[in-house]
Amino acid sequence: MRTKPTLTWIPTGEPAPRTTDLTEVVRVVGDGGVVVLSGAGLSTESGIPDYRGAEGTLRRHTPMTYQEFVASEDGRRRYWARSHAGWRTIAGARPNAGHHAVADLLGRGYLAGIITQNVDGLHQAAGARDVVELHGSLDRVVCLGCRRTSSREALDRRLVEANPSFRADVTRVNPDGDADLPDDVVRGFRLVSCVACEGVLKPDVVFFGENVPRARVDECYRLVDEANALLVLGSSLTVMSGLRFVRHAAKAGKPVLIVNRGRTRGDEHAAVRVDLPLGQALTTLAERLA
């Protein structure tokens, strides 16, 4: 499926009712069989910014699109220079209370699975297993020629060797792992190619405008079909790649529970809309189910 390069969404109409009461969430999750769909709002308490929150980076940053990346070496140079500078911030992030609470609920059998739109690996770092990474992971790199995958750590070492004098004063890092850099720093950055076929290397993440692998989408639909309910955590659901699962669950008559700061594109489908910080809400949820 192709992810539409939707960067913003403007709410219309009256906002759906919101609450800070977790009673209904506790009841539904307590019955088990719940699938989580998580977004960037779950990772903000780990120091990773989101795109669309109150301090969202889309206010100052336009993410790389797939079309720009594959069409232009200058585009790839811009991406890799900025990502090389910012990746360590993402790699050094640690799971927060929300991630740990989700892993705890999964381990105790309340959750039937986790679908995440995040590319930071923090669900797994908190101990969750069998997480479906809808948009891939920044920890991996893929060759667009031979499709060979390799670790981001290995690529980082190669980029350091290719750019021994590269220095960047990183002040802001974006959710896709790149940092704001001046143009003159980007222009001098040297790219490296696939060690197997000399093809173009790309992070193994789904850029805006890129296809989400069909098998991955089908796995997400299977999880939702087999679930008793869908719990959305920290996502505005602006992009169709996540919103479609909310619509699918609602159409099947399954309860959709949304915990998020601010309005979401899926609010009309929600049985309950909780507006609380994710760490606080999920810690409370886990405690009440203990």
- To the question of whether residue 184 is assigned a binding role by annotation, the answer is no
- To the question of whether residue 35 is assigned a binding role by annotation, the answer is no
Q: Give φ, ψ of 4 to 5 degrees.
A: -65, 135
- To the question of whether residue 72 is assigned a binding role by annotation, the answer is no
Candidates 61, 84, 100, 135; catalytic one? 135
- To the question of whether residue 47 is assigned a binding role by annotation, the answer is yes
- To the question of whether residue 59 is assigned a binding role by annotation, the answer is yes
- To the question of whether residue 117 is assigned a binding role by annotation, the answer is yes
Sign of CA dihedral 48, 52, 53, 55: positive
- To the question of whether residue 220 is assigned a binding role by annotation, the answer is no
Give the strand pairing for 149-151 and 136-143: antiparallel
Distance of alpha carbon 17 from alpha carbon 285, whole angstroms: 20
User: Which of 153, 159, 149 is closest to 197 using CA atoms?
Assistant: 149
Distance of alpha carbon 50 from alpha carbon 55, whole angstroms: 8
Long-range contact pairs involving 123-130 (C-beta distance under 8 Å, separation at least 24): 123/38, 123/95, 123/99, 125/94, 125/95, 125/99, 126/95, 126/99, 126/100, 126/102, 127/100, 127/103, 128/99, 128/102, 128/103
- To the question of whether residue 286 is assigned a binding role by annotation, the answer is no
- To the question of whether residue 51 is assigned a binding role by annotation, the answer is yes
The answer to whether 248 is a known catalytic residue is no
- To the question of whether residue 278 is assigned a binding role by annotation, the answer is yes
Residues belonging to the active site: 135
Known binding residues for NAD(+): 39-59, 117-120, 234-236, 260-262, 278
Known binding residues: 39-59, 117-120, 143, 146, 194, 197, 234-236, 260-262, 278
Known binding residues for Zn(2+): 143, 146, 194, 197
